[in-house]
Chain A
Amino acid sequence: MTISVLYALVGVALFCISLYSVIVGPDPLRKVLAINVMSSGVFLVLVSLARRAPGPGPDPVPHAMVITGIVVAVSATALAIVLIQRLHTAGAPTAAEDPGDDS
Chain B
Amino acid sequence: MNVGEPDARSPLYRVLLAVVTVSIFLGLTFAILSLPPDAAGLAERVDAELAATGVRNSVTATLLHFRGYDTLLELAVLLLALIAIRAIRRGEASPPRPGGEILTVLAGLQAPAMILVAGYLLWAGADAPGGAFQAGAVLAAAGVLLVLAGVQLPQRTDGLQFRVGLIAGLAVFVGLGIAGVLASSAFLDYSRLGVRVVTLVLEGGAAVSIGLVLLEMFRSVLGGSRAPRKASRSMGQLDG
Residues of A that sit less than 8 Å from B by CB: 1-2, 5, 8-9, 12-13, 15-17, 19-20, 23-24, 26, 45, 49-50, 52-55, 57-65, 67-68, 70-72, 74-76, 78-79, 81-83, 85-86, 88-89, 91, 101, 103
| B81 contact from A17, A78, A85, A91, Cβ within 8 A | A78
Q: Which residues of B contact A55 (CB under 8 A)?
A: 43
Total interface residues on B, CB under 8 Å, equals 56
| Separation of A91 and B39 alpha carbons in the complex (Å) | 53
Q: Which residues of B contact A58 (CB under 8 A)?
A: 43
Which of B71-79, B108-116, B188-196 faces chain A?
B71-79
Q: Which residues of B contact A76 (CB under 8 A)?
A: 81
| Separation of A57 and B43 alpha carbons in the complex (Å) | 9
Contacts A20-B18, A52-B41 supplied; 5 other A-B pairs, CB < 8 Å: A20-B21, A59-B46, A74-B214, A89-B224, A89-B233
CB–CB A49/B220 < 8 A:
no
Q: In the complex where A63-B59, A79-B85 touch, is A50 in contact with B41 (Cβ < 8 A)?
A: yes
Q: Is B28 an interface residue (CB 8 A)?
A: yes
Q: Is B229 an interface residue (CB 8 A)?
A: yes
CB distance from B126 to the nearest CB of A (A): 14
User: Whose C-beta in chain A lies nearest to the C-beta of B233?
Assistant: A89
Q: Which residues of A contact B66 (CB under 8 A)?
A: 61, 64
| Separation of A101 and B227 alpha carbons in the complex (Å) | 26
Q: Which residues of A contact B70 (CB under 8 A)?
A: 64-65, 68
Q: Is B38 an interface residue (CB 8 A)?
A: yes
CB–CB B41/A62 < 8 A:
yes
User: Whose C-beta in chain A lies nearest to the C-beta of B87?
Assistant: A82
Interface of A is mostly: helix
Residues of B that sit less than 8 Å from A by CB: 8-9, 14, 17-18, 21-22, 24-25, 28-29, 32-33, 35-43, 46, 58-59, 61-63, 66-67, 70-71, 74, 77-78, 80-82, 84-85, 88-89, 133, 210, 213-214, 217-218, 220-221, 224-225, 227, 229, 232-233
| Separation of A49 and B78 alpha carbons in the complex (Å) | 27
| A59 contact from B41, B63, B74, Cβ within 8 A | B41
CB distance from A15 to the nearest CB of B (A): 8
CB–CB B32/A68 < 8 A:
no
| Separation of A64 and B218 alpha carbons in the complex (Å) | 24
CB–CB B41/A5 < 8 A:
no
| B37 contact from A2, A16, A59, Cβ within 8 A | A2
Q: In the complex where A60-B58, A82-B220, A85-B225 touch, is A12 in contact with B14 (Cβ < 8 A)?
A: no
CB–CB A75/B25 < 8 A:
no
Q: Which residues of B contact A68 (CB under 8 A)?
A: 63, 67, 70-71, 74
Q: In the complex where A60-B62, A78-B85, A82-B221 touch, is A49 in contact with B32 (Cβ < 8 A)?
A: yes
CB–CB A89/B227 < 8 A:
yes
7 A/B residue pairs, CB under 8 Å, sorted by A: A9-B32, A12-B29, A20-B21, A61-B41, A64-B70, A81-B224, A89-B224
CB–CB B40/A75 < 8 A:
no
Q: Which residues of A contact B22 (CB under 8 A)?
A: 16
| Separation of A13 and B36 alpha carbons in the complex (Å) | 20
Q: In the complex where A71-B133, A83-B88 touch, is A78 in contact with B217 (Cβ < 8 A)?
A: yes
